[in-house]
Amino acid sequence: MLKNDIFKICAYFIVVICVGALVAPWAYHLGKGIVEDGWMAGTWLDYLHRELERAPFPRYFNRSLQITALILIYPALRWIGPGKGPEAFRLRRNPRRFQHLIVGFLLAGGLLLLMGWGMVQMGFYRPNDKAPALAKAIFQALSTGFAVALIEEILFRGALMALILRTARPLPALIFLSAFFAVVHFLKPPGDIEIPPVTWSTGFWAVGQIFSQFREPAFLAAEFATLFSVGWILGYARLKTASLWMPIGLHAGWVFGIKLYSPLTRRAMPLEDMLPWAGQDLKIGVVSLAVVALTGGIVWYYLQRQNPRAVFRDSGENRAATAA
């Protein structure tokens, strides 16, 4: 079992959580101690001073996890041993790469924003009176969308998918990676919880709060299921095209839609009256899940017409694929 790639990925994930949970309280007290000393206030580091001053414990927890994951990624990759060269990623050159990128972006972003417009008409959201300039909002949403899509698709559908396919067939690999993708996006305590006095064990208390969300049926239906579906569609597109171009386009479109919609609108009713149909943003709610499922159906039909060959098989052609 120690040589199984899925076991190694899960082990890395668990170690990151444990180390991050241990480091978070120390980072919190260090940050608040720096604020109390006040040596950065009024200097060119005043912005950092204000950020440390208003940052709650969950933000220190999130940053501790991110920094721990970054520090441990090199020894983890050495242990997993993904291989060298482009063949390690099990990808092929995609002659329709720009078509797939643009179609994925327009499909995901367009349907999401159309849903957002419908939610404004239904009274869930309203236009934001203090919204930034539209050109600025579009530029920020575009840059964030493609930056996030590039990083996460190279990591999840590129490196991790290739690692898992070394020991698992495509369908189990897709199920595991979709669940893993969804879980990773919830490594933060719920925003509405009351934080107790921070001690050495508060990080592990936060981990318990994170995973306690999975006992709530409303949470599973409104949020986890949506992210699992997103991961499934991205993984399917990667397997079907043997490239990352369409997953990057889809992922960038979804992030673009969320980042553009958020500054331009505000909730128009209490959150409890919106659930389970809608939520804090366009990622949450049964309506969002339905729109993601519709997007997946269109992606399946589009790719099936281009290449009707079954995707859920581990063919020699896939194993011999070269990277785009």
DSSP per-residue codes, 87-120:
GGG-----TTHHHHHHHHHHHHHHHHHHHHHHHH
Does 8 share its domain with 91?
A: no
**Unique residue bearing structure tokens 């575009």:** 142
Quick one: pLDDT at residue 208? 87
Statement to judge: residues 229 and 146 lie in one domain: yes
Tell me what pLDDT residue 247 has. Answer: 96
Confidence of residue 320 (pLDDT cuts 50, 70, 90): very low
Question: What mean pLDDT is predicted for residues 122-127?
Answer: 90
323 pLDDT band (50/70/90 cuts)? very low
Question: Does the pLDDT at position 314 exceed 50?
Answer: no
Whether 206 is in a domain gets the answer no
Query: How many residues in total does the chain contain?
Result: 324
Give the bridge partners for 266, in sequence order: 126
Query: Do residues 117 and 33 both lie within one domain?
Result: no
- Domain contains 76: yes
Q: Is this structure's pTM higher than 0.85?
A: no
Whether 44 and 99 map to the same domain: the answer is no
Residue 272 covered by a domain: yes
Final residue in a domain of this structure, among 81, 105, 132:
81
Structure tokens at 2: 């120690």
Q: How confident is the model at residue 115 (pLDDT cuts 50, 70, 90)?
A: very high
Residues 6 or more apart whose Cβ sits within 8 Å of residue 282: 112, 115, 116, 257, 258, 261, 262, 288
What values do phi and psi take at 245, rounded to 5? -65, -50
Peptide bond into 276 cis (omega under 30): yes
Q: Do 119 and 229 share a domain, yes or no?
A: yes
| 76 and 220 part of one domain | no
> Distance between CA atoms of 256 and 140, rounded to whole angstroms?
9
Helical H segments across 123-201, by residue range = 134-153, 161-165, 170-184
Does residue 22 sit in the same domain as residue 110? Answer: no
Residue 127's H or E segment, with its range, is strand 125-127
Q: Are 279 and 181 in the same domain?
A: yes
Domain match, 62 and 130 both: no
Average pLDDT over residues 64-68: 84
Closest CA to 164 of 321, 320, 10, 324: 10
Structural domain includes residue 183: yes
Greatest mean pLDDT range, 76-90, 109-123, 297-311: 109-123
Domain end, chosen from 58, 81, 104, is at: 81
Written as six digits, the tokens of 47 are 């912005």
Q: List all residues 6 or more positions away from 127 whose beta carbon is below 8 Å from its beta carbon.
A: 120, 264, 265, 266
Residue 205 falls inside a structural domain: no
| Of residues 52, 54, 7, the one with CA closest to residue 30 | 52
Joined together, the tokens standing for residue 73 give 């990624």
Interval 161-201: pLDDT, tens? 888 887 788 898 899 999 988 888 777 776 667 788 889 99
In this prediction, residue 222 carries a pLDDT of: 66
In which domain, by residue range, is 8 found? Answer: 1-81
Query: Considering its fold, how many domains does the chain have in total?
Result: 2
**pLDDT: which is higher, 43 or 199:** 199
Domain-located, residue 50: yes
pLDDT of residue 322: 36
CA 253 and chain centroid, separation: 13
Amino acid at 312: F
Confidence grade of residue 315 (pLDDT, cut at 50, 70, 90): very low
pLDDT for residue 35 = 84
Q: Is the pLDDT of residue 82 over 60?
A: no
Whether residues 25 and 173 fall in one domain: no
Q: Is 3's pLDDT higher than 90?
A: no
Give domain status of residue 147, yes or no.
yes
Domain shared by 163 and 288, yes or no: yes
222, 276 Cβ separation under 8 angstroms? yes
The DSSP letter of residue 60 is H
Between residues 311 and 45, which one has the greater pLDDT? 45
Asked if residue 290 is part of any domain, the answer here is yes
Residue 32 and residue 165 in one domain: no
Final residue belonging to a domain, choices 81, 96, 116: 81
Percent of the chain with pLDDT over 90: 36
User: Can you list the pairs that 218-223 forms with residues at least 24 positions away whose Cβ atoms lie under 8 Å?
Assistant: 218/275, 218/276, 221/276, 221/286, 221/289, 222/275, 222/276, 222/279, 222/284, 222/285, 222/286, 222/288, 222/289, 223/186, 223/279, 223/283, 223/284
